[in-house]
């Protein structure tokens, strides 16, 4: 059984402080992720944020079938609320560098014009957006910067979209919590129409307030984390690197951010600098522990000095060797994982989306969250 958990664990001190103190106001909690005149709304998950944007688009554009362009290298589970809502999903091709294949996008826009375009900043790194901004302006599409893998704003991230998505619950020891940022100066220029901008905020806020037993999800999360802290942990399943079919069922919490998440975030919000530094340190710890030297066959994905890495990404050049390495780490009870579970539409058209499939096949990941210690990594 691994001594390392996939997700960060709250300390007993944080749990105690969250229990005895009131949570900070939502606008105060949002400050680390806001810039200038940005407007932020809290949700439990970024999947609900995207749904709120799609619903706003449908109402403001008076469209029944909103077309959402999603990169083909994207987690299928996160699309569940959109699928249930009934949008038309169009999966655009990404390059081997994880950037949109804009030449291909332009060739397809006449047939399937986008209403919403999702640009992902993968694994906490900036994806340059200037050409994407122009593409969205040309097509009249709203641009969503998906920064769920980004701990907090870094230079270039959050400067271009009409909306920016951050998911603190992916980085901090909280059960849920994702902030949707609405920008006035994105491609759609919402700030030029105050009435429309107010209507947009009202629609999104109305969805963010939807609550149905948030305590249930909080209780389950809290119970699991306490058991993990006490050393009671279920065995990590040994899943294949590339399953033949993916049938993932995820139970989403309601859209509203839970009270427990707000209380724990209030306690942890002052630690973001420490979190960033520890993630960088643990990335280096894995590099030293595994002895990976960047060669033609293997590499450990680098990151820029401004980036706070999301995971330690191991990249293989040969599929068979990658599978063997992945299996050997599993046998050593390391919490090795894969990402993402690709949408079935992408998997069904393997030739068209070959870059996304190759990116999925030749990479796996190790956690680098802040509640790990360097000694834990070295003791594995």
- With bands split at pLDDT 50, 70 and 90, how would you rate the model's confidence at 21? very high
Q: What is the rounded average pLDDT for all residues in the chain?
A: 91
CB hemisphere CA count around 63 (13 angstroms): 18
CATH placement of domain 14-208: 3.40.640.10
* Better pLDDT: 52 or 215: 52
Evaluate if residue 182 carries a pLDDT over 90: yes
pLDDT digits (tens, 9 = 90+) for 259-312: 999 999 999 999 999 999 999 999 999 988 887 765 556 677 777 767 889 999
Condensed to tens digits (0 to 9), the pLDDT of residues 88-98 reads 999 999 999 99
pLDDT score at 297: 60
CA angle 130, 279, 255 (to 5 degrees): 65
Predicted local confidence at residue 250, as pLDDT: 67
| Amino acid 228: pLDDT | 93
pLDDT tens across 123-178, in order? 999 988 889 999 999 999 999 999 999 999 999 999 999 999 999 999 999 999 99
Q: What is the pLDDT of residues 220-259, one digit of tens each?
A: 999 999 999 998 887 777 888 886 655 555 678 899 999 9
Return the pLDDT at 298.
Answer: 65
Name the one residue in this structure whose structure tokens are 């401004």.
306
| Pairwise CA distance, residues 165 & 144, whole Å | 7
Alpha carbon distance 358, 292 (integer Å): 21
Q: Give the predicted TM-score (pTM) of the model.
A: 0.95
pLDDT tier for residue 36 given thresholds of 50, 70 and 90: confident
Q: How far apart are CA 329 and CA 320, in angstroms?
A: 14
CA pair distance 167, 147, nearest whole angstrom: 7
pLDDT attached to residue 247: 53
**Backbone phi and psi for residue 119, each to the nearest 5 degrees, phi listed first:** -110, 120
Q: How far apart are CA 234 and CA 213, in angstroms?
A: 26
CA 207 to chain centre: 20
């Amino acid at each position: 059984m691994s001594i390392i958990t996939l997700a960060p664990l709250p300390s007993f001190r944080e749990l105690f402080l969250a229990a005895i103190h009131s949570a900070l106001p939502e606008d105060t909690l949002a400050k680390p992720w806001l810039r200038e005149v940005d407007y932020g709304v809290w949700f439990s998950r970024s999947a609900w944020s995207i749904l709120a944007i799609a619903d706003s688009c449908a109402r403001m554009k008076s469209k029944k079938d909103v077309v959402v362009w999603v990169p083909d290298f994207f987690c299928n589970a996160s699309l569940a609320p959109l699928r249930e809502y009934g949008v038309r999903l169009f999966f655009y091709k990404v390059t081997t560098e994880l950037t949109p294949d804009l030449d291909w996008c332009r060739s397809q826009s006449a047939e399937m014009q986008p209403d919403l375009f999702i640009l992902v900043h993968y694994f906490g790194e900036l994806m340059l957006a200037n050409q994407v901004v122009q593409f969205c302006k040309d097509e009249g599409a709203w641009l969503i910067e998906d920064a769920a893998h980004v701990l907090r704003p870094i230079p270039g991230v959050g400067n271009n979209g009409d909306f920016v998505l951050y998911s603190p619950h992916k980085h901090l020891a909280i059960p849920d919590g994702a902030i949707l940022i609405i920008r006035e100066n994105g491609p759609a220029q919402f700030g030029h129409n105050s009435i429309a901008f107010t209507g947009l905020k009202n629609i999104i806020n109305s969805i963010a307030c939807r609550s149905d037993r948030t305590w249930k999800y909080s209780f389950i999360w809290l119970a699991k984390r306490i058991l993990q802290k006490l050393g009671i942990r279920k065995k990590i399943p040994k899943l294949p690197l590339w399953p033949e079919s993916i049938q993932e069922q995820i139970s989403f919490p309601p859209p509203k951010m839970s009270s427990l998440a707000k209380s724990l975030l209030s306690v942890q919000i002052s630690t973001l600098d420490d979190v960033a530094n520890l993630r960088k340190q643990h990335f280096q710890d894995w590099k030293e522990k595994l002895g990976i030297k960047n060669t033609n066959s293997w590499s450990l994905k680098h990151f820029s000095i401004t980036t706070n890495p999301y995971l330690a990404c191991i990249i293989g050049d040969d599929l068979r060797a990658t599978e063997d390495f992945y299996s050997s780490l599993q046998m050593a009870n390391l919490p090795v994982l894969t990402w993402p579970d690709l949408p079935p539409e992408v998997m069904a058209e393997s030739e068209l989306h070959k870059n996304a499939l190759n990116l999925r096949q030749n990479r796996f990941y190790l956690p680098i969250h802040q509640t790990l210690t360097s000694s834990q990594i070295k003791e594995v």
